[in-house]
Amino acid sequence: MNEQDFNEALHDVMTRSSPPPSMDPSRALEQGRRARKRRRAVWIGAAVVPLVAGVGAGPVLIANYASGRSADQQVAGGTSTTQPVPTVTPTVAPTTRKTGDPWPDGQVDRTATTGPRAERAVTLMNDLSSSVPPGFSTPNLKYPDGRSMRWPQGQYASSDGEQDYWEYMATIPVQKDDTVGKLLVKSTTPDGKPAIDPCKLAQKFWDGTGTCTIVDVDGKKVGVVTNGRGSYDQWAAYRHDDGTVVYLAQAKRSDDPKRSPLTRPVFTNTQLAELVTSAKLKIST
């Protein structure tokens, strides 16, 4: 198939396709309006927080100036009633998602590109980097087109009818000598759904299939898939008691086919299992 054949084939495909009815412009407009409203609400929220902080701090500063005592001393003496000021922009996302609801925190889609949720994903990526065993490194390698192979992502994950929950993901290249593999971690905040068998949980990871065994880590049951046939070779899955679910996956081959794959996995199966139960890779909010 040459360029001309492909061009003709694409036009043939589209000519013969049966597209659904046209999308409704008024619905699209409504979505846009909601997104704008959400964005404005967040701006106002962001502007109000320092204002509230200033109002709250004012009497304290005056009292301190008058009495010559520190705020800590006043709290200890029981004379201060200053309320803590929220430091996170308030979220007005619905507790149960419905079709057409705006994205939370003023986002224009599911991804948090700025703010505390985006920062949590970056922290997760850095925590994953610092977890690799000696002998491996986690450099900021690039794909041939210049994109970074290190990639953090914070995402609002609820679908229609589900309570609000978030997914934080990070993928990093791992290097040993001139070979490169990859790691992926995903931490999902509690979604209100009941616990399932550790192996069923593990086999829900992407479209991966493979043999699963349950590994015991200090009494915690972790599902570990050892011969993955998808994008990853091995991965572990664990649901913490509060409902937070953590996946950690590894592959000897990176997404850049020009790089030689690692000759051995980064983690043993036991190490994978230990890491998914650790507080280091767990994000619950």
Partner 1 sequence: MSDRDAAFEAYFAARSDAMRGTAYLLCGDWHRAEDLVQQTFTKIYLAWRRIQRHEAMDSYTRQTLVRTFLSERRRGWFRHESVGTPPTDRAAPSSGLADERVVLLEALAKVPPRQRAVLVLRYWEDASVEQTAALLDCSAGNVKSQAARGLETLRGLLEEERVR
Give the residue, chosen from 128, 169, 215, 262, that forms a contact with partner 1 under the rule CB under 8 A: 169
Place of tokens 């990639």: 151
Measure the N-to-C terminal CA separation of the chain; round to a whole number of Å.
Answer: 50
**179 beta partners:** 176, 260
Half-sphere CA count of 236, side-chain side, radius 13 A: 23
With vertex at residue 113, the alpha carbon angle to CA 108 and CA 119, rounded to the nearest 5 degrees, is 145
Is 43 a residue that touches partner 1 (CB under 8 A)? Answer: no
Separation of alpha carbons 168 and 280, rounded Å? 13
Please give the single-letter amino acid code of residue 284. S
Is 19 a residue that touches partner 1 (CB under 8 A)? Answer: yes
Give the residue, chosen from 157, 191, 204, 256, that forms a contact with partner 1 under the rule CB under 8 A: 157
Is 193 a residue that touches partner 1 (CB under 8 A)? Answer: no
State the burial class of residue 202 (Cβ atoms within 10 Å of its Cβ: 0-12, 13-18, 19+).
Answer: buried
Stretch that binds partner 1, among 124-132, 143-151, 194-202, 209-217 (CB under 8 A): 143-151
Is 258 a residue that touches partner 1 (CB under 8 A)? Answer: no
Per-residue CA distances from 81 to 48, 71, 204 (Å): 20, 11, 49
CB 115 within 8 A of CB 155: no
Is 135 a residue that touches partner 1 (CB under 8 A)? Answer: no
Is 161 a residue that touches partner 1 (CB under 8 A)? Answer: no
Min dist. Cβ of residue 272 to partner 1 (A): 18
Give 160 or 216: the residue with its C-beta nearer to partner 1: 160
Q: How many residues sit in the footprint of partner 1 (CB under 8 A)?
A: 50
Min dist. Cβ of residue 28 to partner 1 (A): 5
Q: Which residues bind partner 1 (CB under 8 A)?
A: 1-3, 6-7, 9-14, 16-29, 31-33, 35-36, 39, 99-100, 108-111, 144-146, 151, 153, 155, 157, 159-160, 169, 171, 184, 206
